[in-house]
Amino acid sequence: MATVPESEVLERVESGLLIGGRWRAAADGGTFQVEDPATGRTLRTVADATPADALAALDAADAAQTGWAGVPPRRRGEILRRAHDLLIARRDEFALLITLEMGKSLVESRAEVDYGAQYLRWFGEEAVRIDGSWKVSEDGSARVLVMRQPVGPCLLITPWNAPLAMPARKIGPAVAAGCTMIVKPAAQTPLTTAALASLLAEAGLPDGVLNVVPTTQAGAITELLLRDGRLRKLSFTGSTPVGRLLLSQAADTVLRTSMELGGNAPFIVCRDADIDAAVEGAMTAKLRNVGEACIAANRFYVDATVAEEFSVKLVARMATISVGPGTDPDAVLGPMIDERQRRRVADLVDETVAAGALVRAGGELPDGPGYFYPPTVLTDIPKDARITREEIFGPIAAVNTFTTEEEALQEANRTEFGLVAYLFTRDLDRALRMSERIESGMVGLNRGYVSDPSAPFGGVKQSGVGREGGNSGIAEYLEEKYVAINVSSR
Ligand code: NAD
């Protein structure tokens, strides 16, 4: 249980827009409500940014950019390190806020606080390692100086499913690189972002570097900002359809973009796999974050010779999962984010079952308040069922079978997505061979979890462009400038 009273946590969080270091109301006084998905009650009423507010945020980010870029890297790094330490000290408070507005269990929310804090620490360490290069030109007549400079004001758009880690993964490198920013959190979960922004200010982030505009007018605000020549970068995490739209809008100003989009992860279990380990991996890859994760296992492909054993064990493990409000210490699986998502998932299950799939666990909408959906296992999935083509984003395991390695690879790659794939095998040759051929930005090998601040997170195909974290994460916020230096021969 959280040690901080809920009312205190909710009262303490800012409910305005953060522009130029000041929390304020929306230009037209508009507000919207943030809901608890476990009960449907209103948690807080939050300022609803208008296009005029978005421009004011860009004014502030633009005005702060030159000064911020000149702040020594060590100081930028220390701000992030202090923010990391403050976050860890307030883990329970932040975890409660995440659980209240997003739904997942407190255990998972605490893990998200740690994970988000790690990005701040990692990029704090990267701030002082931004380097350049120097060389002699091929013909010896010049010197080639390459410097790396902050891109400039960034727009960071984040989803609701990880309300702390997703902004931290963008704010960390932007701060480290010396960029100013406007953060637009998802309308379902603006509270955690507001609390994080307050914490960064407390850690020493100067006014105007980080501006926050929660809004219900995401489209209008974003389009306006993308068309304004002062914005230099868009980093977006969200669905592929919205990502496509933003990429087309960003084309007009040839804006730098980083896109962390949807997934449709295959989870492949080979005949030589440790089945118990595969089932544990499946539980993590499927149920983490209530199944609402871009890296959630979406399609299980299990060798036909071990498929029944895997399914029986998976069903048995799923039966141990208790469903309930995330604030309940006994609950493992919290509610889905809203009724729309829950309805979508329920329809997907019903459609798959109507087409011939078998329900081995779950599959029924519970009564009562909140947007709960039980852990569900489906087998005998019809080929080409929508559930294998679309991102499920819910606690549903759809188990398919295969007979040859080639078939598993072809099925795994038969999607426009390419974020992550999971592979369980004890054969090293097979593991490497298949990892090389799987079309994804990340592979979880005998592991149901790949998120790690020291690793490059991101996808190929329509799962995105660019990487967050690792050694490449900061590069997304830096531009290379080359200075050709004339050296006259004597
Ligand atoms: P979404 O695309 O609906 O929304 C994401 C963000 O974009 C939100 O802040 C939303 O307000 C904003 N948005 C929506 N329409 C917009 C528009 N027209 N212009 C500008 N902004 C707009 O996605 P979601 O439902 O919030 O999140 C779930 C999706 O995010 C899933 O597809 C999931 O896979 C993806 N995701 C990807 C990663 C990753 O790292 N690849 C991580 C988490 C989530």
Tens digit of each residue's pLDDT, the chain (490 residues): 447 899 999 999 999 999 999 999 999 999 999 999 999 999 999 999 999 999 999 999 999 999 999 999 999 999 999 999 999 999 999 999 999 999 999 999 999 999 999 999 999 999 999 999 999 999 999 999 999 999 999 999 999 999 999 999 999 999 999 999 999 999 999 999 999 999 999 999 999 999 999 999 999 999 999 999 999 999 999 999 999 999 999 999 999 999 999 999 999 999 999 999 999 999 999 999 999 999 999 999 999 999 999 999 999 999 999 999 999 999 999 999 999 999 999 999 999 999 999 999 999 999 979 999 999 999 999 999 999 999 999 999 999 999 999 999 999 999 999 999 999 999 999 999 999 999 999 999 999 999 999 999 999 999 999 999 999 999 999 999 999 999 987 7
Specify the residue with its C-alpha closest to ligand 1, atom 6: 159
From 101, 112, 294, 405, active-site residue: 294
Residue 216 CB less than 6 A away from ligand 1: no
Residue 1 lies in a domain: no
Residue 201 lies in a domain: yes
Cβ contact 279:317 at 8 Å:
yes
Residue 442 CB less than 6 A away from ligand 1: no
Helix (H) or strand (E) holding 142, with range, is: strand 142-150
Domain match, 305 and 232 both: no
Nearest to 423 by CA among 174, 254, 415, 437: 437
Number of domains the chain contains? 2
Residue 488 lies in a domain: no
Tokens of 187: 């309308």
Domain match, 336 and 198 both: no
For the packed helices 307-318 and 275-287, what is the interaxial angle rounded to 10 degrees? 50
Residue 458 lies in a domain: no
Residue 111 lies in a domain: yes
From 101, 112, 126, 260, active-site residue: 260
Residue 369, CA atoms < 13 Å, CB-side half-sphere: 9
Per-residue pLDDT at 359: 98
Domain match, 257 and 388 both: no
Residue 187 CB less than 6 A away from ligand 1: yes
Domain match, 223 and 302 both: no
114 conformational bin, left if phi > 0, alpha if psi -120 to 50, beta if neither: alpha
Helix (H) or strand (E) holding 133, with range, is: strand 133-136
Q: Within 10 A of 42 (CB to CB), how many other CB atoms are there?
A: 11
Per-residue pLDDT at 1: 47
Domain match, 256 and 332 both: no
Q: What is the CATH number of the domain that holds 329?
A: 3.40.309.10
Active-site residue flag, 260: yes
Cβ contact 120:32 at 8 Å:
no
269 CA to centre of ligand 1 in angstroms: 30
Domain match, 182 and 290 both: no
Question: Which amino acid would we find at residue 408?
Answer: A
Specify the residue with its C-alpha closest to ligand 1, atom 30: 238
The torsion angles phi and psi of 153, rounded to 5 degrees, stand at: -55, 130
215 CA to centre of ligand 1 in angstroms: 14
Cβ contact 54:221 at 8 Å:
yes
Nearest to 327 by CA among 480, 174, 109: 109
Exposed / middle / buried, residue 11 (Cβ in 10 Å: 0-12, 13-18, 19+): exposed
Per-residue pLDDT at 211: 99
347 CA to centre of ligand 1 in angstroms: 21
Domain match, 83 and 221 both: yes
Q: Is the dihedral of CA 437, 440, 442, 445 positive or negative?
A: negative
Domain match, 253 and 362 both: no
Residue 459 lies in a domain: no
- CA 426 to CA 363: how far, in whole Å? 33
Helix (H) or strand (E) holding 33, with range, is: strand 31-35
Q: Are strands 256-260 and 396-402 parallel, antiparallel or unpaired?
A: unpaired
Domain match, 182 and 282 both: no
Active-site residue flag, 308: no
Per-residue pLDDT at 4: 82
Per-residue pLDDT at 42: 98
Atom from ligand 1 closest to the CA of residue 245 = 18
Q: 344: domain range?
A: 265-452
Tokens of 37: 């998905």
Tokens of 458: 């991101």
Q: What is the CATH number of the domain that holds 37?
A: 3.40.605.10
Residue 457 lies in a domain: no
Atom from ligand 1 closest to the CA of residue 463 = 41
157 CA to centre of ligand 1 in angstroms: 8
Helix (H) or strand (E) holding 412, with range, is: helix 405-413
Compute CA 416 distance to the chain's CA centroid, rounded to the nearest angstrom: 19
Specify the residue with its C-alpha closest to ligand 1, atom 13: 218
Domain match, 249 and 356 both: no
Domain match, 251 and 269 both: no
* Strands laid side by side in the 478-486 sheet: 133-136, 142-150, 478-486
237 CA to centre of ligand 1 in angstroms: 5
Per-residue pLDDT at 489: 78
Residue 257 lies in a domain: yes
Residue 294 CB less than 6 A away from ligand 1: yes
Specify the residue with its C-alpha closest to ligand 1, atom 40: 260
Helix (H) or strand (E) holding 62, with range, is: helix 51-69
Residue 222 CB less than 6 A away from ligand 1: yes
47 CA to centre of ligand 1 in angstroms: 20
Domain match, 248 and 322 both: no
Residue 242 CB less than 6 A away from ligand 1: yes
Please enumerate in sequence order all residues whose Cβ is within 8 A of that of 456, keeping only pairs 6 or more positions apart, or say none: 441, 467, 468, 469, 470, 471, 472, 473
Residue 214 CB less than 6 A away from ligand 1: no
